[in-house]
Amino acid sequence: MDADNPNRKERSTPQWALYQRENFWRSNDGETPLFNTEPGKLEDLAKEKLSQGGWLYASSNAGQSTTHTANRQAFYRHRIIPRMLVDTNHRDTTWSCFGHTVAAPIGFSPIGINKIYNPAGELPVAKVAAELNLPYCLSTAGSQPIEDVGKANEGGVRFFQLYMPHDDELTVSLLKRAVDSGFTACILTVDTWQLGWRHDDVQNSNYAFYHGQGADLGLSDPVFQKRLAADGIDPKTMPNEAGAKWIDNVWHGRAHDWSKLPWLIKTWKQLSGGKPFAIKGIQHVEDAKKAVSLGVDGIVVSNHAGRQVDGAIASLDALENIVAAVGDQTYIMFDSGVRGASDVVKALALGAKFVFVGRLWVWGLSIAGEHGVRHVMKSLLAELDILMNVAGIQSIDQINRTMLESYPKSYQAMANKAKL
């Protein structure tokens, strides 16, 4: 494409589409692009790079992976209808999320224990997110201290995803650390009181926290340090026991119910000065209505990428239902199954206001650390920018239901769960 095309001067965000040109040119300089970002090939390369434990944890799904399969099938029944001869020389991917102006309606999903994918853990991911001006969401199961992730994301938009302990003092400590480290929203995940049944992880005893790895976020917490001392656990000499105690406070297997939400929302609002509070993992319309009635600022429609309940509704199908019920009452976000820019556009067209991406950047981190995350996410942004250019979309707010032709829900069971 013409590097001096008029769109460069018309937009507030970088012209992401030029990343295509940059990679086309590389061979003239004796270089090649870092790696292929086609999702199936990306996954294959990550498998080659990762340890068995890292690969199994990243790729595993609940049960027979039927929810994972359904997530991808749901995207296939919707087709984008491009418009022609639209002046996309006036085109921009810019968007707003919880009051922040960001580069695109795309964010980094909260994914835990990044150290099993790369020794630097969450730090390079948070750094790239800030660089690209995309919101970054840190998981409570993160493998770096909250404060260090905040510093790595300096200048960026960052949210804190909470797995709520049954220890209110510990919960308050985690939230306070997040506020003090510049995290500007709390997203409570409600679908993971404990991990779903994931056959490969169970068969291989693949739980990093029980083997002394990945508990840094908890081990750096002053309240949790008191809990360790009270139990006589020294994390330096007893890393397995310390990691187990931490994660057993996070994925504790003891459900919370709706009665806890008013306290948590009030606590977060008081600590943060009124910053947004959202719930992640909502799939049923009645749960969405209940969340709205309690005053949440947002809902993330998600089935945890098919990793929690096998045989569950596709996240994209749940999105349609929830948008129809409460889409005009709260900020609806989407997560689960996104593999490319067309998926982002479809989710937005069905009523999501923001889309989280997970496994794509995990594969990039696994393959090439910071450079891998940057390559994957810049490629996704370029793909989105190009799709907008060739499909006649000038701005994100033009993406709506009229852009899609949709077909009946007639999903067939498929043996192959990957590379869909």
Answer for the pair 326, 359: CB distance below 8 angstroms, yes or no.
no
Residue/partner pairs of 9-13 with CB below 8 Å, 24 or more apart? 10/89, 10/90, 10/91, 10/92, 11/91, 11/92, 11/93, 11/94, 12/92, 12/94, 12/101, 13/92, 13/93, 13/94, 13/103, 13/104, 13/133
pLDDT band with cut points at 50, 70 and 90 for residue 2: confident
Residue 298, classed as helix, strand or coil, is: strand
Among residues 68, 78, 284, 304, the one annotated as catalytic is 304
Please report, for residues 172, 276, 345, 355, the alpha-carbon distance to residue 183 in angstroms, rounded to integers and kept in the order given.
Answer: 14, 10, 27, 19
pTM: 0.97
H-helix segments, 282-412: 285-293, 315-326, 341-349, 359-391
* Maximum CA extent, the chain: 70
Nearest to 167 by CA among 72, 78, 273, 260: 260
pLDDT tens column, 205-248: 999 999 999 999 999 999 999 999 999 999 999 999 999 999 99
Return the structure tokens found at 329: 């009452």
Known active-site residue 304:
yes
Pairing of strands 354-357, 331-334: parallel
pLDDT tens column, 248-305: 999 999 999 999 999 999 999 999 999 999 999 999 999 999 999 999 999 999 999 9
How many of the other CB atoms lie within 10 Å of CB of 377?
26
Residue 410, classed as helix, strand or coil, is: coil
Distance (Å, whole) CA 350 – CA 74? 12
Instruction: Note the pLDDT of residue 276.
Output: 98
